[in-house]
Structure 1
Amino acid sequence: MDLTDFTYELPNTLIAQRPCPVRDASRMMVLHRQERRIEHRQFFELPDYLEKGDVLVVNDSRVIPARLYALKETGGTVEVLLLKKLQGAVPDAQTWEVLLRPARRAAAGQVLSLPGGARAVIRERVSDKKWTVEFSTGTDFAAYLRRNGEAPLPPYIKRRPGDASHFPDRDRYQTVYARADGSVAAPTAGLHFTPRTFDALRSRGVSIAAVTLHVGYGTFLPVTASRIEDHVMEEESFEIDAEAAEAINAAKRVVAVGTTATRVLESATDERGRIRPTAGATRLFIYPGYRFKRVNRLLTNFHLPASSLLLLVSAFAGRECILDAYRQAVEACYRFYSYGDCMLIL
């Protein structure tokens, strides 16, 4: 399967730089995949498409303020994006795998000065831009990040250092139901929900089940293997508790909110379509040809060309169906990517 079959043209002006002023007022394309029919609606109309007995599955992972700006000893500024916590060699130190930008002059042993009087030491190169870094903050690291970190926005959302103070990204790049700290990217399909959305859904007899998948930075990365089948997903941890498993197993239809909830459900479902409470890690890569075991409906944002996320929605609705819908979305000036509009696939 050729990756070039999963690209499309998108004007830069349609890449959303700010979220919709009101979360649930974003636009929602409704794609009827069997009929190849499209409706243009708004997100607050989502309950019109669900019914009693449906279970809406959300990912309740919370985005940590994982972006820091540091000063090198030479005086230059470097962006530090936390990727995953590692087991540190020094007691009480926080050792993380991070992404450094720019990384071309990074070297083991370099000392970085961080906000709030903290410091970090670059330890080892992992790959071209990834390094292990040891942080010394003199305080609880989670509390330090809450005070000094910024939202880990994807690279296509442009912000200057300190720009986060001018716009509440730490609030809007977070779902209203986020609970479990651990993601370095938002499960963006959930950004549209508000309490009134959930009230309207429950009034129709729709149940809400929460699962957890901590989203890694790899969600932003394009597939680079020329043969799609050769792509390897980065490992992400997930959890489904007993209450969620019971609700999902009893569902008339399962409506997944986003590709992350979809991957949790499909990773945890057995061949009989049943889910057990579980905690683990997944590298599940869903691309055309995959047979879905549990997800019946999918709410998702509009994704980057040649990305694993676009491949997943193409597996769910069909490549031609999705690419045609994306062409129509461009013509209708939908807003794309993390802060953009959404698509409900029925």
Structure 2
Amino acid sequence: MKLSNFNFNLPKELLAEFPTENRDESRLMVVDRKTKTIEHKLFKDIIDYFDEGDVMVLNNTKVFPARLYGNKEKTGARIEVFLLRELNSEQRLWDVLVDPARKIRIGNKLYFGDDDSLVAEVIDNTTSRGRTLRFLYDGSYEEFRQKLTELGETPIPKYINREVTPEDAERYQTIYAKEEGAVAAPTAGLHFSKHLLKKLEIKGIDFAEITLHVGLGTFNPVEVEDLSKHKMDSEELIITQQACDVVNKAKTNKHKVCAIGTTTMRAMESSVSSSKTLNPYVGWTNKFIFPPYDFSVADCMVTNFHTPKSTLLMMISAFMGHDLMKKAYEEAIKENYRFYTYGDAMLIL
């Protein structure tokens, strides 16, 4: 498969700018891989497709307010700083992206907050837009992290061309988010409400939680026609023994294992045994899944509708088959499904 196989015309008006009023009342397209049939439902109807003993695997990563705005010393130029990952907590070193990058050089200092209460020094260039910053702050580490939270902004994607609202801080986060470390939300999970999770639990559906801290690399454009030459950025991954026990028990007993989102799917596929069971793992993954690919753990998945030529679309194609994916996406555009972060969902059986 080539990059050009994943291009299609997506009307801009289908890119969702806001979430639905209620999480579980977004639309749900249900695609059956065996019968090649498509149904149109609401997300809360997902409960009808699962039985007692089935398992949903959730990514419990939590998004932190990763977007900061500061001013460059002397010139006062406004600079956007996007926190990517903490490199050293004692030295307060972070990998970041800066914009406009051409103005930011090694040795420059950036000031944040109305009172310049947080200062950072640029100590390295990592990529064209990437920098390493050392934050200069007199307080404790806990106070420093609190300061980042106070000054930071919910990092909703740039395609959402509006001001960040207080609602975004809550809605750009799954209700089961626990482990802080993501710079982007695992968006398939945004559709679950507390009420829906409780109904699923009462029906006997089990849950397993893994942690994959989503980085911006997930959304980096693919710039090579030969997909085998594309390199994914590494993302931190934690799979506990407890999660493995829940998943592997369901597989042994022939119950469904449903990956909630592409991040969850990639996480599980990063740590499987030769007998196709899930293994515990603590480390990093840069796994890139594209057709053809033989999936080992999940036999169904929930995902949002993705943009052309994205690595997420390539994974969906690998899971449901390229022709069926194209059919489903043509149907989604025809029926005005909402795409991307705050968009609608698809259940692939």
Would the TM-score normalized by the shorter structure come out above 0.5?
yes
Structure 2 CA distance for aligned equivalents of residues 137 and 310 of structure 1 = 42
SS in 1 for 2:101: coil
2:296 is aligned, of 293, 301, 308, to: 293
Which residue matches 2:179? 180
Query: Considering only aligned residues, what root-mean-square deviation do their CA atoms show, in Å?
Result: 1.3
Deviations 1:182-216 (A, max 9, x none): 11111000001111111111222110111110111
Structure 2 CA distance for aligned equivalents of residues 167 and 319 of structure 1 = 39
Q: Residue 112 of structure 1 contacts residue 119 of structure 1 at CA under 8 Å; is this kept in 2?
A: yes
**Which amino acid letter does the alignment assign opposite residue 330 of structure 1?**
I
Which residue matches 1:242? 241
Unmatched tracts of structure 1, length 5 or more? none
Q: Which moved more, 1:138-147 or 1:237-246?
A: 138-147
The verdict on how the C-alpha distance between 1:137 and 1:157 changes in structure 2, with shifts beyond 3 A counting, is farther
Which residue matches 2:36? 36
**Which amino acid letter does the alignment assign opposite residue 97 of structure 2?**
L
Q: Which moved more, 1:233-242 or 1:132-141?
A: 132-141
Which residue matches 1:229? 228
Structure 2 CA distance for aligned equivalents of residues 145 and 105 of structure 1 = 23
C-alpha displacement at 1:93, in angstroms?
3.5
Q: Does 1:77 align with 2:78?
A: yes
Which residue matches 2:153? 150
C-alpha displacement at 1:78, in angstroms?
1.2
C-alpha displacement at 1:232, in angstroms?
1.0
TM-score of the aligned structures, taking structure 1 as reference length: 0.95
Deviations 1:84-138 (A, max 9, x none): 11137xxx43111111112122211111110151111122111111111111233
C-alpha displacement at 1:282, in angstroms?
1.1
Structure 2 CA distance for aligned equivalents of residues 323 and 145 of structure 1 = 42
**Which amino acid letter does the alignment assign opposite residue 146 of structure 2?**
A
Structure 2 CA distance for aligned equivalents of residues 130 and 311 of structure 1 = 26
Which residue matches 2:109? 111
C-alpha displacement at 1:277, in angstroms?
2.4
Structure 2 CA distance for aligned equivalents of residues 114 and 194 of structure 1 = 35
SS in 1 for 2:103: coil
Structure-to-structure mapping, 1:184-263, within 5 angstroms: 184-251=183-250, 252-263=255-266
SS in 1 for 2:102: coil
**Which amino acid letter does the alignment assign opposite residue 237 of structure 1?**
E
Structure 1 CA distance for aligned equivalents of residues 283 and 172 of structure 2 = 25
1:308 is aligned, of 293, 306, 311, to: 311
Which residue matches 1:171? 170
Q: Residue 154 of structure 1 contacts residue 220 of structure 1 at CA under 8 Å; is this kept in 2?
A: no
Q: Does 1:126 align with 2:126?
A: yes
C-alpha displacement at 1:44, in angstroms?
0.7
Q: Residue 124 of structure 2 contacts residue 133 of structure 2 at CA under 8 Å; is this kept in 1?
A: yes
Structure 2 CA distance for aligned equivalents of residues 304 and 334 of structure 1 = 13
C-alpha displacement at 1:170, in angstroms?
1.3
Q: Does 1:276 align with 2:279?
A: yes
Structure 1 CA distance for aligned equivalents of residues 128 and 192 of structure 2 = 37
SS in 1 for 2:45: helix
Which residue matches 1:63? 63
Structure 2 CA distance for aligned equivalents of residues 189 and 254 of structure 1 = 16
Which residue matches 1:97? 95
**Which amino acid letter does the alignment assign opposite residue 269 of structure 2?**
E
SS in 2 for 1:309: helix
SS in 2 for 1:268: coil
Structure 2 CA distance for aligned equivalents of residues 100 and 54 of structure 1 = 44
Unmatched tracts of structure 2, length 5 or more? none
Q: Which consecutive segments of 4 or more residues in structure 1 shift more than 4 A? A: none
In percent, how many aligned pairs have the same letter?
Answer: 42
**Which amino acid letter does the alignment assign opposite residue 47 of structure 2?**
P
Q: Residue 31 of structure 1 contacts residue 38 of structure 1 at CA under 8 Å; is this kept in 2?
A: yes
TM-score of the aligned structures, taking structure 2 as reference length: 0.94
Structure 2 CA distance for aligned equivalents of residues 126 and 41 of structure 1 = 46
Q: Residue 222 of structure 1 contacts residue 306 of structure 1 at CA under 8 Å; is this kept in 2?
A: yes
C-alpha displacement at 1:142, in angstroms?
2.0
